Structures are given as C-alpha cells and as structure tokens.
Structure 1
Amino acid sequence: MSQNLIVLKTAQKYLIIILLFLEIVPKLQAQTITRGPYLQQLSNSGVIVHWRTNVATESVVKVYQSDSTQVTSVADSQLTTEHVVQISNLKPDTPYHYSVGTTAQTLASGKDFYFITGPPTGSARPINIWAMGDFGDESTKIYMETQKGIKDSYLKNRPAFTDLWLWLGDNAYCCGTQAQYQKQVFDFYGSSIFGNTSFSAVPGNHEYFASPTGRVDRKIPYFDIISVPTKGEMGGISSNEKAYYSYDYGNVHIIALDSDGYDDGKYRVYDEKSKQYQWLKKDLAANNAMWTIVMFHHPPYTKRSHDSDAEPELQYIREHLVPLFDQYKVDLVLTGHSHIYERSYLMKNHKGHSMSFNKDIHVVQDVNGRYDADAGSRPFINKNEGTIYCVVGSAGRLDWNGSHEVHPSSIYSNISIGGSLFLTVNGNRLDGRWICADNVERDHFSVFKNVNKRENFHVEYGSKVHLTSSWKGSHVWSNGNTKDSEIDYQALRAETVIVKDSLGFLEDDFVITVTPQPIISTDITESEVCPGQSVKASFNLQHTDFNKWNYVLELSDANGSFDTPTVLAKLNQNTVQFTLPDNLAEGPNYRVRVRPDADFFEEHPSQSFRFNKPAKGGFVGEKNIPFDTLVTLNLRFTGTAPYTYKLSNMPESVTESSDVSIKINPNQAATYVLESLSNACGNGKIDADNAKVSILAPLSVEDDNNMVFSIFPNPVSSDLMIENKTGKTIKTQLSLLDLSGKKVLNKTLMIEKREIISLEGIPAGNYILKLKTPSLKVSKKITKI
C-alpha cells in the first residue's frame, strides 16, 4: 500500500470521528428544558412531575428532604421530550425539594422547585387554594395588564405554601394550543409558581377551539398537558376520564367537571344520560368530606359578561346540576366563562330565570358573609345546606356586555377590575378573598360549620376539663384568655365558661358542674424523731375515691413549709412506715403530708415534730501541743444539743455549746482522749482522727547565747538565715523536727559565712531546729508562718 493511500485512509477515519463528534456534542449541549417542571396530582404520598425538553432524553427526578438528604430517585430510560414521572411513597404533610434531568445532567433545581405533600385524608390542617379562570390571553393590552397584575398580587399575598391551584377553564386563548399554553401560561407564570404549585384544571370552551372535532373526541392539547386522578387514587369515584375527576385533599373533596365537551360524542354534562352526570351523582353520594368544592367553566348564575338567562347551556346547567348541588349540600361552586367576579348568597333551589329569584325563598342565610367589623357583616354560620356560587373569570380577560343588570343572587359583583380568589379551608372554617390586579382585596367571605355549640360537663372537683372552641379564628374566653382556641379549665366551682369571637358573632357555652372539694388529712404518732428511726404515718380521704389518685408522702422544711417539699415515699395504701433522711437539718417544726397527684385538695398536714441529729465530735486544733504552764483543749460537737461527753481523767460533762474549750495546767507530758459522746439520739460518733490530743514534754533549754551561730528571722515565712560568726568554715549537721519529733528537713552544710535555708513547702507551725558541729550542739524553737 502506497504511503499516500495510508495517509488518505487515516484522514478519512479521523474525519468520520470528527463528524460524529460534531453531531453528538451539539445534541448533548442542547439538552434544555422548554417547559416546566410543573406539578400534578399532589397527594399525601406523592406527586407527578412534568417537564418538556427540546431534544428527547431519559427522565430522572431526585427528591430531597429539607436538609438536602436525598429521599428517592425515580428514572425512566425511555427517550422523550414530554417527561412525566410519578413520585410515590412519600410521607404526608412533609416538605421536599426536587430536581429533574438525566442520569448525566441536572436540568432544573434550586429554590423554586419544592412541594409539600398533602395532609392525611380528613386532616383539619389549613389548606390554601388559589382559583382563577379565563387567563392566558395576550390579544389586548388590558388583558395582559390584568393577568400581570393578578400574578403580582398573588406573589405578594401568597401564603407560606399554596396547596392547590385551580384553573377554571379558558386557560390559554384563543384556542388552547400548545404554543398558546407555552407562551401565555407556562412562560408567563414561570418556575416561581409552576415549580412549587400543583394545579388542577378543567377545560373551557376555548380549550376545545384547538380542534374542529375537539368537543366530540376530546383530542385537544389540554389533555396532553394535565395528569389527573381518574382511578380514584386520591379518593372519590373513578371516572376513567381525564375530562372529569375528583379527589380528596385533607377534609376537602374537589370535583372537576367538563362543562363543554361531549360524552359519547353527543351528551354534555347537564344531560342526565351522560356518563359524566351519572358519575357526578355517584361521586357526590359517596363523598363524606366536610367540605365539597365543585369547579367547571360555565356558570349557572351570571350577568354583565355572559348572561345565564339568555344562554341555553347556562340555563341547562342551572336546571340539571344545581338540584344535585342542593341535594348533596355542595359548599362552593367555582366557575369562569364570564369575565367578571360574582359571589352569590348561600342559596338553594333556584333553577329558573333571574327574575324568579326570591331572597325569602332561595337564600339560606341572608347575610353578606364578609365577617368584619362593619354592622351586619356576619359570616355564614352553621352552614348545613345551600351553596355559594363564585364566578372567577377575570384573571386575564375583563369584558362587559353593556348591561348594568347585576344578577339578583349576587352579594357582590365587579366588572371593573380583574382578580383571583384565595381560599383557605381551616378545619370547619372556609374563607375566600378576592384580590384584584391592583393588589386590593375587594371581597371576602367566611363560612363556618358546626359552631355555636353548648356542652354540659359534670366532673369531679378540681379535674381538668379540655374545652375546645368550635371554630378557627379569634377567641375571647370568659377566663381572660384571648390567645388560644382551646384551653384546659380546672373545675373548682359550678359555672358556665364562654368563648366568643372578637366580633361577637360566634359563641360556645360550656356548662360545668362539680362534686364537693376532696379533703386529705395526715397523722403521725411521734413528736421527736432521729435518723434511722421508723415512723408511722396514716391519711384519710373525703369526697373522692382512693383508687383514683396516686400518692406520695412529703416532708416539709425545718420551718414546716411545703414550698419545696422532700418526697419520702410513694404510697399505695393509707398507712406507711418511713425513716427520715440523715442529711436533714435539725429543727422542731417539721411536718409530713400525704399528697395526691392533684393540686386542688383541701390538705391537712400532720402536727409538727422535732428532728434530732445524732451527736458527732472530736478535738480541733493541734493534735500535739507544746508544753506550757496553761494549755487549752478545744472540742467541737455537731448534732442536737445538749451533749454529754467525757474526757479521760475527767468527770462526765454536759454542754449546750457546740464549741467547748477546757483549760488545764500540765506539769508533764500527757494524753487526753474523748471517751464518750451522746445526746437525745443516743451514743454519738467520735471522730477517730480527732479523738485525742497530746501535750509534749518540756523542751531542753535552747542556746540563744552561743557565740558560733546567729539564726534569724524567727518567726520565718520562707528563708531562714544561719550566720557563722567565727570567720572559719564549719561543717554542720542541720535537722528540723516537728513537735512530734518527726524530721521534716535534714542536711549537711559547710557554712562559711551565711547559709540560706529554704522552708518553702513546709507547713506553718512550730518546729525544733538542731545544729550539730564536731564541738557544739544547738537547739532552737522555730515558728514557720
């Protein structure tokens, strides 16, 4: 093979590699998210994460706890641009962060991407819902400004976490195409909302404009965007249709209906032959949640944008669906379609023309529901029947048909500015706030169930009664508590405890009657007690059952006070033998009491008794005392006086004093021993280490006038000077003895002129210094200070 051919083939090989590299690298670099990620079907155990990429990739979602510990990772190796990943087996009511991407690359993560799993079914913890319809329209400036203002007002007013975002149809104009959803919804709201807020949606008529046959076959982009619980996996009856579904979230049951599409190509939701209508009846009948919210697009009651008197489909919904809502006591119906905000009375049984609406017949509670300080602004109280209808169709679009006629069922209606509805369900309370594009709240309402209750309690005196108000909100208790929704009340007398809300619309009454106050009395037989002595105590009960309580025997302080009692024993019968602890201070005013595990008994402790401490003692001071013509022996006693004691060679004595000094005149060495000690507790304890003292024999005469050495200073604190007065070097043996004769220092010195002897480390006291030379012995008493 020629050299040129080899070079050509090699070049071809590298060219192929380069071309492959140039083809692969852009694809790797081009992996970007073009939609999302966004959340669907948030439950108390999981969530579905959607996102779209510009090229087909595998799908990986990683979930983390708040401390960044990875909880789970779910991967799907199938290459796709439309990623849908189900996350399961999470804990309820728990915050998580997440990221999405591929096994090789994270495409989205950070502060926007989190969720909190739903509460357990039936939980009463607060649930925050954001509801809106008829948004996603950029065809006019006013629509775009309205949508932006509502987004901004949401971001300013959003709660710590929004559980659900409800879309009420006509979500992307004009026709619900993928491009319109992308630009006017997903790009517009962005990851700061979509990354952490799960939405549930219903289609409007504009969703179906995406296809000429959309209403019949339901093959429109909207259904490719959403994932909904069609199998009853979050509660509710299985619908097996993405167009309509239901689920439970805490104590709320949400039903989503398709009011524009056709079942079997011919039946709308209001047709009683439709599968959707039949499913709705079954779902409502099976529902046991405290709150029921139904959402769909077309309102049964509306004026000034669409007109429910003039449009047949709105009339049919009113005639066929409203009776179901009345029968099953639906609490709230949310719709759009009319580009206006309208809120109705709590109402029922109205199916006809608006002119037939009669407040006396159709309004369940004739209040405005605003629940504020304005006169007559009462909430809806003890809602048991009737429904509130809210049209929330001005979250982008804002249209007026020229009519000034407000539907007579409306408590509040506004066509001049757009807004969205913030809902909070907190136990048996539901609040709605309509916040507008200018960040002003223009309507609010509150609904309560099962409030204003009256309860009777007949309890034993002093027992704790747990009282819980029947609502969430402000509380003013008759005992002065203005902070808590529930209190523990100790029943010490018959009375009615009342709790009200701060505006006086709500009131619970708790009627409490009590038995007579229980009494407990304690007795002992002794008036004086010593350590180790067994003492018997007994107690008696009145107005209560012995077996109801646990008991302890308590000891007062020396002054008879039980402010800080000492527990001596636990009791399971009404008599007990006990001994007092040795470490008690002596005193004449001790008492005992038997105390139950309650603080409301009338208590009668025992009579006072005296606690005596056994005698202890010994000599204090030096154990070896230098001989003197007058010597003092010092004794110290503890325990209860008087003390009886005897020293050897002395008669027995009695003293009240704890410190005793005895003067003696020795004439020779002697030893004194404390032979006995006693008091009221019998024979005392003599300290063995201090049981005797010795008086030393007189010392030999010291040579203070020798002409050889000068010894100074005396007393000495640290350094002792020995000065040689002869002018010649003298070899000297030095010894320092304590008064017992023990050498504490011993050394040989060659003293020329002056020698310094360090006494550092030698205890203070009296010592004998001895100096010995070949021709001289010197003995001198030295005091170390």
Structure 2
Amino acid sequence: YGIQVNGTTYEGDSYYFKTAPPTGSKQKVRIWAMGDAGDGSPNQREVRDAYLKRIQNDNRQTDAVLFLGDNAYAIGTDEEYQNNFFNIYQDYFFKNNVIWAIPGNHEYYSGVQSRREIAYFQIFSQPQNGESGGVPSGSEMNYSFDYGNVHVVALDSYGIEQDKYRLYDTLSPQVEWLKKDLAANRLPWTIVMFHHPPYTKNSHDSDTETELVLIRQNLNPILERYKVDLVLSGHSHLYERSRPTRGHTGLAPTFNEAAHLTSTSSGKYDNSPNSCAYVKNGGDEGVIYVVAGSSGRNNGLDGPAHPAMPFKNFQNGGSVVIEVEDNRLNYEWLCNDGVVRDQFTIFKNVNKTTQLKARHGEVVTLTPSWKGATSWSNGSNQPTLSFTLTGDTTLTVRDEAGCLLDRFVVSVSEKPALSFDKPLANACAGAALSVPFSVTNTDHNRWKYTLQLSDNQGNFSQPVTLSTESNEAFSATLPTSLPSGDNYRLRIVANVAGIAPVVSANFSIQQKPSATLSGAATIEAGQSTPLTLQFSGSGPWTYQLSNNAPATTSSNPLTISVSPLTTTVYTVTSVSNACGTGTTNGNARVEVTPKIATQMPVGIILCDESVFDLPFTVTGGFDTGIGFEAQLSDKEGNFTTSRTVGSGSQSPLKVTIPANVEIGGNYRLRIKPTQNANANLTPSDVFSLKQRAKATLSGDTTIAFGGEAKLKLSVQGTFPVTYVLSDNNTASVSNNVSSISVKPALETTYTLKSVTNVCGNGSVGGNARVSVLLTAIAPVSDEDLRVLPNPTHSKVKVEAKVFSQKSGDWELLDAQGKTLNKGHFRKGTLHGLDISLEDTVPGAYLLRFVVEGQTIVRKVVKL
C-alpha cells in the first residue's frame, strides 16, 4: 500500500500489512499487548526490542497489537503521542501491523473527561459500525473486532458518557452495548481490554480506589456471565495475573481460593508442580485477569500481592504475547530482558469421552481434542492414531504433562460373519471345487481365508487345507486319494481376530462319470437319424452333445434323434454327475445332401443390363466352404445353354443381365454350387425381359426473337419413355421419333439430361443448337441506349437519350424467355433507371424495352 502526506507519497516493500483471516477460522493467531507504554523511557524501548527480537526468526506476522491505555504520557497531547508513541514504534512495526487501542486516564488529562475532544480520538479511528465484527457500538469509546476464532472487546474505563455514566455504571450505553456484543458473539475465545483493573495492589489499590471497586462489583459479574476468557488492563505500573476467578466482588481479604477459583493450578503447563493447563469446557470456569501496566512506566511497589493476583512482577517491564490456535491459548509475560517470567495455557472442550462405531476391519483414526504432544495408551506418541478395528476397543490419550485425558470407546458396529453362499453338491475325488462364500460387516478384501476339508466322518482334528484366498470364492482340487463317504464337511477360517469360523453341511464324495458316443449315418437334408450314448459311473448323468444345451438322463444307453442341416460330426463335449465332470469318448458323423432354391425378388422388372440381388436358400450344407453361381436360361426357360450372370459365397448374389440378350421370352434363373458339389436345384419362376431406353436429340436451327423451334427426338426401348431436356422441360413419348417445341430468348444449345422407362435410367446423346435473331424498333447505337456496367455483379443502370420523350415498359428475361422482372417507365424518367440482378444466378439475360409497340433488346451478362 502507499500513503500520501502533504503531497508526498510513501510506499515501498516495507509498506504492507496482513489482512484478517475468515471469521471463525482456526489458524494460529498472535496478539501482542502493552499497557501504560508511552512514557518515552528506556524501558519502553527495551520492551519493544525484546518482543521484536523474540519473533524475528519465526517468519510469522503479528496479527493484532493492543494498547491498553496511557499510551502517551503525561496528558496524552498530540505532541506527546508524536514523541512517546509514534517516534518509538513507527519505524519498527506500525507500517505492517493493525493497532487496536483504548484510552486510559492520562489521555483525558489534556481535555474534559466527558468530551471526546482529546488527541486520542483524533489519532485513532476505531470501528464503530461493526466493520471488523461484533455488534456496532456507534461510539468512539468502545468497539469490538473478530480475528480468526478470537473476539476482542475494547472498553473506555475513564471517559464519561452522557455527562454521568462511567464504565462501572450498568445502565451506561457502553455496558448495554457490551452485553449485546457478548451475547451475539459465537467465537470460542473472548478477550476484553479496558484500562482500570478490577484487582491490583502496590501501584494502585483496588480496595481503596472507588472506580476500581465499582468496576469489580458491577462489571466482573457481566464478564463472568458471558464466559469471557481473559481481561487485559493497565493503570498499575507492574505485572499482575490471576488464576481463573469467579464470584469475587469484595475486598481483598474476602478472597477465598476454594470459593473463588475454578483451578488452583499455575496454568504454566511446563511440567513444574501444580502447573496443568486451565480447562474450559463450557461451564462456569471463571475469568483470568491480567494487569500489564509496565510496558513503559514501571514504578510498581514490592508490597504484598493481591490474593486474587498471585503472579506478580514489579522489577521488570514487559508485554503480553498471546497465541491462539483452534482450542488452545498460550499466554506469556515477556519481560524487557527477553525472559518469559509468567505463562499459562488454556484448553477448551478437552478431556472428552467419545463413543464411536465402525465396521470390523475399518481403519479408525483418532484425534485428541487438543493441539500438542500426546501419549496413547497403546504406546504411540503420534499426534493422531490410526488402527484397524477387529474388536471392541477402548483407548486413552494423555498430553505430555499428564494433565489432559481423552477417552475413545470404539465398538464394532455389527459383528462380522462368514457364510457359504450355497449348499454343496456331491463331489468326486480329484475334481475341481468352486466354493463361493460371503463375509459381512467387514472389509473382506483385507483378510485371507482358508478352506479346510474334514475327514469322511466330518471331524476337523486333522483338516486338509484346500485353498487360501482373499476374495469371496475358493477354487480348489479335491485329493484323488479321498475315500468315498457321505459325511464330509468344509470349514472356512479367517486369518484375523473377530471373525468366527463357519462349517458347511455334510456332502458326499463319489466317483466321476464317462460317456461314449456312436451312430454314423448318411441322410437327405430334413431327415433325422438316431445316435447312441453309453454311460459309466453313477447316474443320473448330465451331458452336452456338441453345441447343444446340457441335458440330464438316467437312461443307459441313451438314444438321441438328430436332424442336422449340414454334414455334422457329433461329439460329447461334457458329462457330469453329482461328483463333477467326467471323461468323454467317440463321435458320430452324419452326412447331409443339401438343397438350393432360387427366389425372384417380389415385383422386380428385369431389363437388359439390369443389376440386382438374387436371393436363394440352402437347405443343408456342404463339407467345406463353397461358392455359388447364378445361371440365366435361354428364351424358352431351358438351362442346356445357360449363361453365368453372377457369382458369390452367400445369398444374395449380385446378378447382371447381359446387354445383348433377346427381349421378351420366358426366362428363368437358378443358383448352383461351384466345384461340382452335389445338391438339388430349384429354379426361379418364369419372367420376360424389357428393353432399356436410348434417346438422341438433333435439329440445329435459327429463329427470330419470340419464335418457336422444332427439335427431333429419336428413341429406342420399351415404351412409354420419359425424357428431361436441358431446360428441365419433361414429357413422355411412345414413338421412336418425336418433335419437341422450344422458344429460347437467346442462342441455346439443347441436350438431354435423362431418359427413363420401366427399366430405369437409359442412355442419351446428341444436341440441337437454336440461334435467336434479336430485333429493335430502329437502329439504336450504344450511345443512345447504354446499359452499364455490362457485365455486372449486381445491377445495371439504363441511360436512353433517344426515348427521353416517350413512355414504355421493360422486362428482364432469362435464356429460355422467362420473365424474371418487369416495370414501367414514363417519358423523361428513363435516364438513370436502375434494374437489379441481385436475385439471379450468373449467366446471360435479356433486357427488352417496348416503346409504342416497338421493341429494343439488349443482352446483359451477370458475373
């Protein structure tokens, strides 16, 4: 950032500050607080330097700097602020840190206590409208702000509101706002700062000074009610700190540890005697009060400590360093010589008992409720503990000092169970065995499972291990040496605790089957023949013949009727019984003579040079792959002198009728196999052939404009024949020679686009050129009638001097004489007549002008 003062801009790498994190975030927050700092003394500078030296190597920004009043001695004037405040700090941390301040009594000594006209309020601009969090105060005296998960409240303990209220007046606007702000706060940590301390001795005395007595009596209960964690004050020029305190509003002699402390620990959390951290779990755990009034002025007395404030230091100046991360607050009193002479730690929402449920085999991760070193009951010292749950488990974790204890009771949500997916069928010695099984309520793929076989009496005293798997199906082979029996059982055992073994029902082990096939034969396509299947082993038998579906029988031998469509070699592909799969032998070859039937496509018309697909059916088949050919009979339907008109390997065949075949007749088609293969052939029905159309155009001639020309059309083929002329005129004819009338507007060469009849498209040829003579009312030169530009891309302008005194009409015609556009012009208006060709395609066009019955024509070309 940069700032401008009196026209001079100050900016650079050292002009930066850190923005606040999202409200409620749990990241580490560092707060530095100083009270009664601004006296310009060496102690003030030493306190400053001790803190800056402390943080210089940790690469962390200070998040908030708090000044607790009496910031500039002796009376808080603008000059004293410059000399004892800005000159001391501005080159060290003011450029980069947000300053949050409150006034003390010395700020008001330069003005009136009930007015905000002192230098403090000119120097500091604090949030009055909730800009930094909290409830808007609407006042310069008090405000609050949020930083991470810390809520800080700043109060004015010396100023007078409405000419009558001090901070200790519970009806004051400041206290009314305080209660609303604390009630609205949802952040876990609350720090309140005001200058005058509720408890202090040896610089000021909270038993004899009325304003301190009233603050303790009236303000402390509010702070305790809203569970404030820490109160920071100054005023007394020494250091004092309480334990978590509640309910004490009387004089010092009335303080009773048993009644007024929620913890007698020092809170230092440094493994010294009675130093466990303070714990606040949402109950009435008291408030810690701090007097940090020696950050500059340091003239406290070495008298007896206030009983509520046992931690005291009057020799050294110092400042408060607070670090908050998630649910842990660390506090230090950092003295001007760099020594930390007091500290404490607070934890919130710790010492928990957590009930958890998880699946057997699930990896459970446990995290203590505090930040810091840990010691788990299973010996681990990791910050978090992950383990695989195989049974109900209770684990505890302590902090390094033995002050905190979390208990985790982890139960298996549902006990895991093994089961066989289906009853076991009878089996054969030496046979492959597939045993699907299920494991519920655990991550089954993480474990291994062993399949065991009992003896033939069902006992597992010496089980046989058949397979070990990690999925849910066993594949095993039974030993060939097993004796027959009806009382075998299987057992599945898991390799992890918490899963009970499962035992199957009894099943039998028997001998394997075999099957032999016979019955070779020769048949015609469509006939049937018997095959014989001979079994051995125990019935019933399940067999599969070639590619047929499996079947089961108790008959031995078994006769099977088959009707193959092609020559087939039958085999027994499998045989099984209650014991499993056996062996197969033999085969039966059935020879089949095929049939071929030719079908004409429904409604087809055949012509010379017709190309079409001819379908056929084959009943039966051939030993090897074979080709087919299509034959065309003679005109009488006989195949003695047939012609091959197509070939291929499957139906349909692509057939082409020859061009030189005789028209009409009683023709037939048939399909026959190549390579002299034996088959019965059925030809198609009788059909006659049509002739494809051929047409030639001729008749060059010359006509006058508007005249008619006759073209000659010569046609061959089966009538009627339909032609399409090059000008898209079409008609049908039934004669070999026909006349076609045309009326072109320009010279045109006519051709035939197409000619068709019942056979489809025929062939066309020839052309006819018609020349057109253009006439006008009188010889008109290009100077008298100008059409410009010509050629053109879009439009022409017509300039006609000779007709400037006459009216008439104009037309735009295409080459076939079709009017595309027209209009009327009056005499004297023909100059500058614009005619558009925007909607026409490139080509030649005519402009025709009719004036008093006479015609003038001009040719126009569009590019």
Cα 1:467–1:474 shift into 2, 3 Å: same
Identity of aligned residues (%): 40
- 1:399 equivalenced with 2:299 (yes/no): yes
Task: Please give the alpha-carbon distance, in whole angstroms, between the structure 2 residues aligned to 1:208 and 1:538.
Answer: 92
Task: Please give the alpha-carbon distance, in whole angstroms, between the structure 2 residues aligned to 1:562 and 1:167.
Answer: 73
Task: Please give the alpha-carbon distance, in whole angstroms, between the structure 2 residues aligned to 1:165 and 1:475.
Answer: 32
- 1:434 equivalenced with 2:333 (yes/no): yes
Contact 1:247–1:253 (Cα < 8 Å) also in 2:
yes
Aligned to 1:243: 141
Cα 1:378–1:250 shift into 2, 3 Å: same
Q: Amino acid of the residue matched to residue 487 of structure 1?
A: L
Q: Amino acid of the residue matched to residue 110 of structure 1?
A: D
Aligned to 2:18: 115
For each residue in 1:12-32, what CA deviation from the matched residue of structure 2 results, as whole angstroms up to 9, or x when unmatched? xxxxxxxxxxxxxxxxxxxxx
Contact 1:129–1:164 (Cα < 8 Å) also in 2:
yes
Contact 2:327–2:347 (Cα < 8 Å) also in 1:
yes
Cα 1:355–1:465 shift into 2, 3 Å: same
Aligned to 1:310: 208
Contact 2:23–2:147 (Cα < 8 Å) also in 1:
yes
Task: Please give the alpha-carbon distance, in whole angstroms, between the structure 2 residues aligned to 1:454 and 1:148.
Answer: 44
Decide which of 184, 188, 194 is 1:286's aligned counterpart: 184
Contact 1:114–1:196 (Cα < 8 Å) also in 2:
yes
Q: Give the alignment of 1:317-332 within 5 angstroms.
A: 317-332=215-230
Task: Please give the alpha-carbon distance, in whole angstroms, between the structure 1 residues aligned to 2:397 and 2:59.
Answer: 28
Aligned to 2:375: 476
Task: Please give the alpha-carbon distance, in whole angstroms, between the structure 2 residues aligned to 1:443 and 1:519.
Answer: 61
Q: Give the alignment of 1:595-614 within 5 angstroms.
A: none
For each residue in 1:139-166, what CA deviation from the matched residue of structure 2 results, as whole angstroms up to 9, or x when unmatched? x55x445445445445458771221111
Q: Amino acid of the residue matched to residue 6 of structure 2?
A: V
TM-score (normalised: structure 1): 0.54
Aligned to 1:377: 275
Task: Please give the alpha-carbon distance, in whole angstroms, between the structure 2 residues aligned to 1:307 and 1:159.
Answer: 41
Task: Please give the alpha-carbon distance, in whole angstroms, between the structure 2 residues aligned to 1:521 and 1:477.
Answer: 40
Q: Amino acid of the residue matched to residue 309 of structure 1?
A: D
Aligned to 1:367: 265
For each residue in 1:689-718, what CA deviation from the matched residue of structure 2 results, as whole angstroms up to 9, or x when unmatched? xxxxxxxxxxxxxxxxxxxxxxxxxxxxxx
Higher relative contact order (CA 8 A, sep 6+): 1
Decide which of 542, 561, 571 is 2:439's aligned counterpart: 542
For each residue in 1:408-436, what CA deviation from the matched residue of structure 2 results, as whole angstroms up to 9, or x when unmatched? 10130000001111111122221101110
Task: Please give the alpha-carbon distance, in whole angstroms, between the structure 2 residues aligned to 1:575 and 1:147.
Answer: 75
Aligned to 1:126: 28
* Cα deviation, residue 294, structure 1: 0.4
Structure 1 SS opposite 2:310: strand
Contact 1:131–1:168 (Cα < 8 Å) also in 2:
yes
Structure 2 SS opposite 1:499: strand
Contact 1:339–1:392 (Cα < 8 Å) also in 2:
yes
Cα 1:205–1:444 shift into 2, 3 Å: same
For each residue in 1:60-82, what CA deviation from the matched residue of structure 2 results, as whole angstroms up to 9, or x when unmatched? xxxxxxxxxxxxxxxxxxxxxxx
Cα 1:148–1:125 shift into 2, 3 Å: closer
TM-score (normalised: structure 2): 0.49
Q: Give the alignment of 1:53-132 within 5 angstroms.
A: 53-56=4-7, 101=9, 107-111=10-14, 113-118=16-21, 120-132=22-34
Structure 2 SS opposite 1:217: coil
Q: Amino acid of the residue matched to residue 134 of structure 1?
A: D
Cα 1:307–1:561 shift into 2, 3 Å: farther
Aligned to 1:412: 311
Aligned to 1:202: 102
Q: Amino acid of the residue matched to residue 31 of structure 2?
A: I
Task: Please give the alpha-carbon distance, in whole angstroms, between the structure 1 residues aligned to 2:20 and 2:445.
Answer: 44
Aligned to 2:150: 252
Task: Please give the alpha-carbon distance, in whole angstroms, between the structure 2 residues aligned to 1:154 and 1:179.
Answer: 30
Aligned to 1:356: 254
* Cα deviation, residue 193, structure 1: 1.6
Decide which of 113, 132, 135 is 2:37's aligned counterpart: 135
Cα 1:561–1:221 shift into 2, 3 Å: farther
Structure 2 residues without counterparts, runs of 5 or longer: 450-465, 476-491, 503-863
Aligned to 1:271: 169
Flag the structure with higher helix content: 1
Cα 1:147–1:174 shift into 2, 3 Å: farther
Contact 1:461–1:518 (Cα < 8 Å) also in 2:
no
Task: Please give the alpha-carbon distance, in whole angstroms, between the structure 2 residues aligned to 1:137 and 1:496.
Answer: 59
Contact 1:368–1:411 (Cα < 8 Å) also in 2:
no
Aligned to 2:642: none
- 1:298 equivalenced with 2:201 (yes/no): no
Decide which of 402, 411, 414 is 1:504's aligned counterpart: 402
Task: Please give the alpha-carbon distance, in whole angstroms, between the structure 2 residues aligned to 1:551 and 1:126.
Answer: 39
Structure 1 SS opposite 2:344: strand
For each residue in 1:149-186, what CA deviation from the matched residue of structure 2 results, as whole angstroms up to 9, or x when unmatched? 44544545877122111111111222323333233323
Contact 2:26–2:326 (Cα < 8 Å) also in 1:
yes
Q: Amino acid of the residue matched to residue 164 of structure 1?
A: A
Cα 1:482–1:552 shift into 2, 3 Å: closer
For each residue in 1:218-263, what CA deviation from the matched residue of structure 2 results, as whole angstroms up to 9, or x when unmatched? 1222223323222123332110112101122222211100111111
Structure 2 SS opposite 1:253: strand
Contact 2:134–2:185 (Cα < 8 Å) also in 1:
yes
Task: Please give the alpha-carbon distance, in whole angstroms, between the structure 1 residues aligned to 2:178 and 2:445.
Answer: 57
Structure 2 SS opposite 1:185: helix
Aligned residues: 470
Task: Please give the alpha-carbon distance, in whole angstroms, between the structure 1 residues aligned to 2:27 and 2:7.
Answer: 41
Q: Amino acid of the residue matched to residue 144 of structure 2?
A: S
Cα 1:150–1:544 shift into 2, 3 Å: closer
Which sits farther off after the overlay, 290-299 or 227-236? 227-236
Cα 1:448–1:204 shift into 2, 3 Å: same
Cα 1:520–1:235 shift into 2, 3 Å: farther
Contact 2:71–2:104 (Cα < 8 Å) also in 1:
yes
Q: Give the alignment of 1:207-246 within 5 angstroms.
A: 207-209=107-109, 211-213=110-112, 215-246=113-144
Aligned to 1:467: 366
Cα 1:543–1:553 shift into 2, 3 Å: closer
* Cα deviation, residue 519, structure 1: 4.4
Aligned to 1:423: 322
Contact 1:462–1:517 (Cα < 8 Å) also in 2:
no
Instruction: State the structure with more CA Rg.
Output: 2
Decide which of 61, 64, 68 is 1:168's aligned counterpart: 68
Task: Please give the alpha-carbon distance, in whole angstroms, between the structure 1 residues aligned to 2:269 and 2:48.
Answer: 29
Task: Please give the alpha-carbon distance, in whole angstroms, between the structure 2 residues aligned to 1:461 and 1:562.
Answer: 20
* Cα deviation, residue 602, structure 1: 9.5
Q: Amino acid of the residue matched to residue 55 of structure 1?
A: N
Structure 1 residues without counterparts, runs of 5 or longer: 1-36, 38-50, 58-100, 102-106, 528-534, 555-559, 568-573, 578-593, 605-785
Cα 1:536–1:127 shift into 2, 3 Å: farther
Cα 1:247–1:116 shift into 2, 3 Å: closer
Contact 2:361–2:446 (Cα < 8 Å) also in 1:
no
* Cα deviation, residue 208, structure 1: 1.8
Task: Please give the alpha-carbon distance, in whole angstroms, between the structure 1 residues aligned to 2:446 and 2:366.
Answer: 27
Contact 1:204–1:260 (Cα < 8 Å) also in 2:
yes
Cα 1:121–1:536 shift into 2, 3 Å: farther
Task: Please give the alpha-carbon distance, in whole angstroms, between the structure 2 residues aligned to 1:348 and 1:302.
Answer: 16
Contact 1:519–1:601 (Cα < 8 Å) also in 2:
yes
